[in-house]
Amino acid sequence: MMSVFEVPPKSAPADQQYERDFYSWALRQAALLRAGRFTELDITNIAEELETLGRAEFNSLVSALRVLTLHLLKWDHQPEKRSRSWVVSIVVQRGELSELLADNPGLKPRLDEATERAYGRARREAAAETGIDIKLFPQTCPYDLAAITSREIDLR
């Protein structure tokens, strides 16, 4: 069995291996990095994968904010349907958001952008889920970050 520190043999040109067998390509690139064999790296595809990872983290931020604003909208517009599951969802997503920002502080400057993107989707989903006309939900997010992350949610 090959150690993660050994460089796997090259089975095809890097760009072909990237397209046909991403897993093997990724292991080879990691091993080449660890071995200091920088001239053999597939720089173009490594850069693309790093950008993809960054976008994925931003999308995780948008997703957490979408769920939070969706539940806050439902909470505010359908008080008679408030449920423990909404509270749980809000608590869980607040935790996810907190951990995501702690792990990726570089996302903090993009919070406004992420909130705006998330709210547009949350607004459409809230209208679909509640049956309330979308025009009754504000066009721009009515919640600031403090409300999204810490507004009191109580079933009483």
- Please state, in angstroms and rounded to a whole number, the distance separating the CA atoms of residues 129 and 74: 9
State whether 124 and 65 are in the same domain. Answer: yes
- Give the three-state DSSP class for 95: helix
Over residues 122-156, the pLDDT tens digits come to: 999 999 999 999 999 999 999 999 999 999 987 76
State whether 134 and 57 are in the same domain. Answer: yes
In a domain, 92, yes or no: yes
Angle at 2 between CA 22 and CA 31, to 5 degrees: 55
Question: Of all residues in the chain, what percent carry a pLDDT higher than 90?
Answer: 79
Residue 148 near residue 68, CB atoms below 8 Å: yes
In a domain, 9, yes or no: no
Over residues 75-115, the pLDDT tens digits come to: 999 999 999 998 999 999 999 999 999 999 999 999 999 99
What domain range is 35 assigned to? 14-41
DSSP state string for 29-64: HHHHHHHT-GGGS-HHHHHHHHHHHHHHHHHHHHHH
